[in-house]
Amino acid sequence: MGVFYSKRKIPDDVYRFWSAVASSVRLGWLGTDRTDKVALEMKVCQLALFPLLLNDSALQGDIVGLEGHLQQGADVSTADARGRTPLHVAAGEGDLEMVEFLLQKGAEVNCRDVERETPLRDAIRSKCVVSLLVSKGAHLEMSPVELGTEMCCLAFLGDSEQMEVWKKAGACFNFTDADGRTPLHVVVSSNQPEMVKFCICNGSDLELRDAYNNLPVDDARRLGYEDLVKMLTEEAQRQSQKRAAKRTLED
């Protein structure tokens, strides 16, 4: 259905909007003329510019400005030419207040841009924004191997904080990379005792073998990391005793 305004029915806010645009881009057809043709052109141009205006407001953290665009008829989940919505932008900026506002206005939480990225993926460096998006049903559009690769890279870098954020977003410490290696394999091979403890505390499975049939403890032995061999062996024994005790209670 087309947008149609008579001369007397063009809303003042719409006209003020386009008067400002006309002034900045020198549109000659705007003046005192409020005919039907001009009204239709104004509305079509307004709708075309909304994606850019909304995303700019989201980038600037301008909730008042964004609210104004919504009141003028903009769709909160409208996307620009790259498929980027205001929620993508706000999530990428880690702007919790703006993300909350957009979600309250009904923004689509799992919308994808032309590169199939979601707001959750853009927010991955902001733990509080990730938590909010996940609570609203957001999920990562990535395969277990892709997630495992991300986790292994972060493990190699010793970035426990980001690993926790990825875990909150849906990644698992037992996801593997293309070689079947888990983050625990990686931190053992790179001799990071504190990261080994961190992975174990976050549920890393000591019995997972990589594509070469190696356990994490096998890597520690091969590389001569005796302290890690001891740590992993003792942890394996502790977990085994815990499982045995649980079975006894169940029996």
CATH no. for residue 240?
Answer: 1.25.40.20
Q: Look at residue 38 in the predicted model and tell me its pLDDT.
A: 58
For the segment 46-50, the average pLDDT, to the nearest whole number, is 76
Which tokens belong to 139? 């999920």
Is residue 38 assigned to a domain? Answer: yes
Let me know whether 121 and 148 are in one domain.
Answer: no
Is residue 1 assigned to a domain? Answer: no
Asked if 70 and 108 count as a contact pair (C-beta separation under 8 A), the reply is no
146: three-class secondary structure by DSSP: helix
pLDDT category of residue 129 using cuts at 50, 70 and 90: very high
On average, the pLDDT of the chain sits at 87
Say what angle helices 36-60 and 63-71 make with each other, to 10 degrees.
Answer: 150
Q: Which of 80, 106, 135 is the last residue of a domain?
A: 135
Helical residues (DSSP H) of the chain, grouped into ranges: 12-25, 36-60, 63-71, 86-93, 96-104, 119-122, 127-135, 144-157, 160-169, 183-189, 193-201, 216-223, 226-250
Percentage of the chain with pLDDT > 70?
81
Is residue 5 assigned to a domain? Answer: no
Tell me how far apart the alpha carbons of residues 18 and 126 are, in angstroms, rounded to a whole number.
Answer: 37
Let me know whether 245 and 172 are in one domain.
Answer: yes
Q: Which of 112, 135, 158 is the last residue of a domain?
A: 135
Domain limits for position 187? 144-250
Q: What is the DSSP letter of 123?
A: T
pLDDT category of residue 50 using cuts at 50, 70 and 90: confident
Residue 230: pLDDT above 90? yes
Q: Look at residue 5 in the predicted model and tell me its pLDDT.
A: 38
Residue 152: pLDDT above 50? yes
Percentage of the chain with pLDDT > 90?
69
